[in-house]
Structure 1
């Protein structure tokens, strides 16, 4: 697989290269080695480069007295996070755009840094008048609107703990998180727009509030242009209009310092079973990690304009806010659907808001690629864009090349970025100006001491070196040292946190992804390790099946799972949506035979799947990530677990319907 490089950026001009020169690391390999051997020095340099201002200097960068799972960072230090993110720029460059917003219907709004500073201070005062104090939880149930970022900032000022939630949740999912966090206030929207349809969120918020005994207040954000919603005073909780609260509050004056290790947010992630995991992040750790990744992996500079197709309930939403503002960037928040009303909507966003950086999930690229010429940008639409970002799932080569070559004209790197909610950012990334391979990663982000190990914890490659052989054996992705952005545990569940990441290998974070290195030292994620198939004794990632399938002209998107098999132990079953038309049952039998032959040719006959099903839809989140665990559970008739992130419940029925298909032999 040949290497590619976006020719529009020289590595020597990037923030990462400047960091290497400033601190005398010679090259990127030297930086990785230095960060691993002297982590306290490295992370102090990161904090200095990012311009973090401390109201009380820290005494120690790192304290490991409680072990790596409970590392303490910037011990004794205090910082005013709001001032670091907004206040300093509001004083120095008040009119610099901070938030750029576009709604589903094309309406736009903009907040400068001074305006954002004022509104966040007013909201902090308003929340304080409702009784919110340090340590109280404030839940956020909003679409991607400016108010979502403003609530995060107001909570940071107060030392309250923000609980962002996916805007597509129904009442039950919202209530689960309200009860688990013990949230005192819920800031919700009256409605949002999706594909031109108005969805009433206030109804869901009120239903959730009815079963959340700790909740005292609903603060309701009206859509721009809406009449202020009718608020009820007869319920167990109070209801207050967001704008009423802002207008009645004077800006909270003075500094708002908090210790670096004070909880900033609880970010919930869905589990296969049981209640969602509440990942705790801190003032100093999450913000520093997000901004470091923006600097080193994405080359985000002050004044750049960055947008990410996400939701505030996913990690990338708060990552965009805290990391982007600390970098002094302008953030584009998009409420709508990126292919509505036309497949080229995404590129129109870049052109209208003059974005320098745009992030998206691989699934979105696959969906747009299937639209053909209608999904390509018009002349000059990407003139401002320097970098694509990508996270959420592994790539397939065909859509990667479509985005890099057809859309980006081979001049804009795709910064493949993989980490997670518990990481506070990324583990692996590409780097602007350095060679990249389709679907791969250049390596770990500096400071992330990553390795690939076998079942016994032994490294499958020499540290920092290319893979031992061309076979590039797949193993578990692990981290051998803590980092500031790591989870400060799970909310009120320390045992579950330790079991999830620290129980398998002593002192080592086991991330749950399969990974491999190739002979050139490029890294590849093969999917979640609990998704990996073992067919006739050979371990294979579902991404290998999915990449081969989407490379076939018949297939639009694909997902592969492993199911029990009496002979092989496990066999692959694949599900596809088709690129054009809906073949009849007889026609599909022939198509399935062709696809199974295609996979046998690509992967080897022993790995050929037992079935390739045509599905009407695949279960996915609203930002496009396919939920492979739900595909497997629905197909095998197992408990589905947490469905709160599922966009379309009918997709589950589509998978169940596949079981009625007749087996076709190769």
Structure 2
């Protein structure tokens, strides 16, 4: 496989930008030795990564693998909070900031490792007093606040299994997840803040458990003490948890379940992805250090939410295990004003920013002048994941947030791909590697990923296929709660290995482009076209900020392409503009990919995590039942 570092001195190929030397000089991590180690001895590589953590019994084996079931470090014993809290709460690190939290309204809050350690110990003792023990499930329905994170860590500390439900989903979605998890305790808050409005979380939680007698306690954190309401009889005050002393971390087997997290459900019933203590801990912390280049003393800003896997991995567990300072913020990224994120970057000297392509496209739509007044020079890495990062958004962010496309840049924008099921980055473009806009990157150290056909055979470079992972790595899920058949299906449906559900293409340099979900493929006149290709072409038009395409039945072609676009603020809808957009796609991709229709819309239907729900667009166009809408953004 061609080494992209070695080829970075060659002439720049189309769509390829060498990493700016000024940025390379500021980086700490270099993946090449790890990649070579992992290719030579994958199990030895991960066992080496397990060194340096606190174990009550250190592991001597790495992987036990009987497809589809895996065990990592199975003879080891630890607790993730021993490594996320206890070891940092001793000595000088005790006074280091663990969390910097920015509420949508009010003053910032800073929790040191010592403060966080004590609060988690007390909350854990309180949960234990409610009868929560080893293996019990606790559903957490909390806004993005330190209290939500403390609830997660408190569960982990006593060996309970938490299941965070995004504090924006409705009653039926919450009830279904509580029932599926078999939770005995639910933790919630009175309200959340969103764009200046209060979201009544307690009312939703109380209604969700009204007919669930198996739920014994509803723990309520009251942010607004003057809020008058009727309480469910099972309600327990959050503050009462802190009156039962302090709970030590319960040592658990490395494979003991840590959390259940339900996927968005945009393509079917949500499934409860199960992760375990040790493998998840080692994988998330490794990639924080090796891919995102987060180092001691850095401020790491993650714009996700604890309701999603990115928030689990890179607001709570990964940064705390690594001993970093993580900044997170409740509320929308452009409220109360479009500059709020960049003001935080400047004020707190953020070094690494993890955000979503959806957010970058939002700022691209708002215009470069939003970020221009702020000093973003502290940034050296801007990482994106969650949806395909289209080339136009990458170039815009590199130019206007990273400081340019050449020697003057102070930060590099990198892409990475993973899933709830995978726990941590799997494919990516390391900051030292040349960027190839439109390609997420190469398999990271310890990852054996490939693009194959339905028979598991590797497809040629430049040809579309199914993205698979041939061998396990530590942060992968251990199962699907209550549905072992579905878990086995994901591993056994394709002979090559774990079937991601995404279509992909590999280039001659080993970089992989994610083309969209397998069920988002367009088939026009016998040609298979990835929805991401057409959407990238649409967004590269100067008038288009965001786009989604679907295929609708066509008597002649099989399918016709229908585009839905959001315009940038500087443009307005007209027949001429829509014709220009369609012609632009024709020029970019050829006649076969030209949309038959272009609709200008004010918004696209998305899940709460920012993924476009193309199936809803398709159902609306065909007059069909759209199915499960519990994860639709409000």
Q: TM tier, shorter chain? A: over 0.9
Q: Using a 3 Å threshold, how does the CA distance of structure 1 residues 85 and 598 change in structure 2: closer, same or farther?
A: same
> What secondary structure does 1:404 align onto?
helix
Q: Using a 3 Å threshold, how does the CA distance of structure 1 residues 38 and 218 change in structure 2: closer, same or farther?
A: same
Q: Using a 3 Å threshold, how does the CA distance of structure 1 residues 589 and 263 change in structure 2: closer, same or farther?
A: same
Give the structure 1 partner of residue 624 of structure 2: 638
> What secondary structure does 2:94 align onto?
coil
Contact 2:352 2:381 in 1 (8 A): yes
Contact 1:11 1:433 in 2 (8 A): no
- 1:37 deviates by 4.7
Cα deviations by residue, 1:372-403 (Å, 9 ceiling, x for unpaired): 244224242x1322211100111222221111
Give the structure 2 partner of residue 3 of structure 1: 17
In structure 2, distance between residues paired with 1:258 and 1:571 = 55
1:526 and 2:515 are equivalent in the alignment:
yes
> What secondary structure does 1:420 align onto?
coil
Contact 2:161 2:258 in 1 (8 A): yes
Question: Equivalent residues in 2 for 1:494-513 (5 A)?
Answer: 494-499=484-489, 501-506=490-495, 508-513=497-502
Contact 2:366 2:569 in 1 (8 A): no
Question: Equivalent residues in 2 for 1:556-635 (5 A)?
Answer: 556-580=545-569, 588-635=574-621
Q: Using a 3 Å threshold, how does the CA distance of structure 1 residues 158 and 317 change in structure 2: closer, same or farther?
A: same
Give the structure 1 partner of residue 9 of structure 2: none
1:148 and 2:113 are equivalent in the alignment:
no
Contact 2:162 2:258 in 1 (8 A): yes
In structure 2, distance between residues paired with 1:592 and 1:15 = 46
Question: Equivalent residues in 2 for 1:450-461 (5 A)?
Answer: 450-461=449-460
Question: Equivalent residues in 2 for 1:87-102 (5 A)?
Answer: 87-92=86-91, 93-102=93-102
In the alignment, which of 231, 235, 239 is matched to residue 239 of structure 1?
Answer: 235
Q: Using a 3 Å threshold, how does the CA distance of structure 1 residues 318 and 181 change in structure 2: closer, same or farther?
A: same
Contact 1:550 1:557 in 2 (8 A): yes
- 1:606 deviates by 2.1
In structure 2, distance between residues paired with 1:227 and 1:392 = 36
- 1:432 deviates by 2.0
Contact 2:68 2:492 in 1 (8 A): no
Give the structure 2 partner of residue 654 of structure 1: none
Q: Using a 3 Å threshold, how does the CA distance of structure 1 residues 214 and 548 change in structure 2: closer, same or farther?
A: same
In structure 1, distance between residues paired with 2:501 and 2:39 = 22
RMSD, matched Cα: 2.0
In structure 2, distance between residues paired with 1:180 and 1:131 = 20
Give the structure 2 partner of residue 444 of structure 1: 443
Give the structure 1 partner of residue 466 of structure 2: 476
In structure 2, distance between residues paired with 1:427 and 1:274 = 24
Which range is displaced more, 594-603 or 324-333? 594-603
In structure 1, distance between residues paired with 2:381 and 2:570 = 35
In structure 1, distance between residues paired with 2:24 and 2:588 = 36
In structure 1, distance between residues paired with 2:628 and 2:383 = 28
Structure 1 unaligned blocks of 5 or more: 18-26, 462-466, 649-666
Contact 1:80 1:256 in 2 (8 A): yes
In structure 2, distance between residues paired with 1:12 and 1:450 = 29
Question: Equivalent residues in 2 for 1:289-308 (5 A)?
Answer: 289-308=283-302
Cα deviations by residue, 1:58-101 (Å, 9 ceiling, x for unpaired): 2421112xx23201111121003211111111112211001110
In structure 2, distance between residues paired with 1:581 and 1:62 = 55
> What secondary structure does 1:402 align onto?
helix
In structure 2, distance between residues paired with 1:631 and 1:532 = 15
Q: Using a 3 Å threshold, how does the CA distance of structure 1 residues 127 and 228 change in structure 2: closer, same or farther?
A: farther
- 1:505 deviates by 1.9
Contact 1:343 1:374 in 2 (8 A): no
Give the structure 2 partner of residue 74 of structure 1: 73
In the alignment, which of 225, 228, 233 is matched to residue 227 of structure 1?
Answer: 225
Structure 2 unaligned blocks of 5 or more: 1-14
Q: Using a 3 Å threshold, how does the CA distance of structure 1 residues 550 and 274 change in structure 2: closer, same or farther?
A: closer
- 1:289 deviates by 1.4
Give the structure 2 partner of residue 61 of structure 1: 62
> What secondary structure does 1:54 align onto?
coil
In structure 2, distance between residues paired with 1:385 and 1:594 = 37
Contact 1:599 1:608 in 2 (8 A): yes
- 1:591 deviates by 2.9
1:341 and 2:355 are equivalent in the alignment:
no
- 1:570 deviates by 2.0
In structure 1, distance between residues paired with 2:425 and 2:338 = 29
In structure 1, distance between residues paired with 2:340 and 2:80 = 35
Which range is displaced more, 170-179 or 431-440? 431-440
> What secondary structure does 2:219 align onto?
strand
Q: Using a 3 Å threshold, how does the CA distance of structure 1 residues 13 and 101 change in structure 2: closer, same or farther?
A: closer
Contact 1:270 1:642 in 2 (8 A): no
Contact 1:7 1:433 in 2 (8 A): no
Alignment size in residue pairs: 613
> What secondary structure does 2:262 align onto?
strand
Give the structure 2 partner of residue 318 of structure 1: 312
Which range is displaced more, 68-77 or 276-285? 68-77
- 1:627 deviates by 2.1
In structure 2, distance between residues paired with 1:647 and 1:494 = 30
- 1:440 deviates by 2.4
In structure 2, distance between residues paired with 1:630 and 1:36 = 42
Give the structure 2 partner of residue 201 of structure 1: 201
Q: Using a 3 Å threshold, how does the CA distance of structure 1 residues 332 and 240 change in structure 2: closer, same or farther?
A: same
What TM-score comes out, normalization by structure 2 length? 0.92
Contact 2:266 2:607 in 1 (8 A): no
Q: Using a 3 Å threshold, how does the CA distance of structure 1 residues 595 and 383 change in structure 2: closer, same or farther?
A: closer
In structure 1, distance between residues paired with 2:197 and 2:27 = 45
What TM-score comes out, normalization by structure 1 length? 0.88
Contact 1:232 1:239 in 2 (8 A): no
Contact 1:453 1:460 in 2 (8 A): yes
